[in-house]
Amino acid sequence: MTLFEKIASRQIPADIVYEDDLVIAFRDVGPQAPTHVLVVPKRAIPRIGEAAPSDHAVLGHLLIKAAEVARKLGIDQTGYRLVINNGPDGGESVPHLHVHLLGGRRMDWPPG
Ligand code: AMP
């Protein structure tokens, strides 16, 4: 099981802010912004580079729900950033696809 599958199955505690049949969203344990949530498909895809055409629906759902969580947490008007890290140069540390939802402060561009 991946770390995030263990969170989804309640083997590891997390501050869960949204859940449905396909995705779970919980606060990042090492927040990089006042609001930092991970939105994760429950069925593990290692990384976006390994997503298949059959993952089309769940990937769309993931982004729709990330925006819904942003509204729920009150950062939709001020703005936010969605990030997917892929592989070593992308900064990926957990090999279970997830979208970072970051908000509550002004983001820099280009990212570090
Ligand atoms: P990434 O580096 O894109 O793979 O992102 C993995 C994220 O998972 C990092 O931002 C970590 O802080 C976060 N993380 C690791 N362990 C946990 C945990 N137990 N609960 C919540 N977030 C975690």
Per-residue pLDDT band at 12 (split at 50, 70, 90): very high
Regarding the domain with residue range 3-103, which homologous superfamily does it belong to in the CATH classification?
Answer: HIT-like (3.30.428.10)
Percentage of the chain exceeding pLDDT 90: 99
- Residue with the nearest Cα to atom 16 of ligand 1? 29
Is 98 among the residues known to form the active site? yes
pLDDT value at residue 78: 98
**pLDDT score recorded for residue 104:** 98
Give the binding-site residues of ligand 1, using a 6 Å CB cut-off: 3, 12, 14, 26, 28-30, 38, 85, 91-94
Strand 35-41 with 16-19, pairing: unpaired
Q: What is the pLDDT of residues 20-68, one digit of tens each?
A: 999 999 999 999 999 999 999 999 999 999 999 999 999 999 999 999 9
The three-class DSSP label of residue 7 is helix
> For the chain, how are helix, strand and coil distributed in percent, rounded to 5?
30, 20, 50
Query: Full-prediction pTM beyond 0.95?
Result: yes
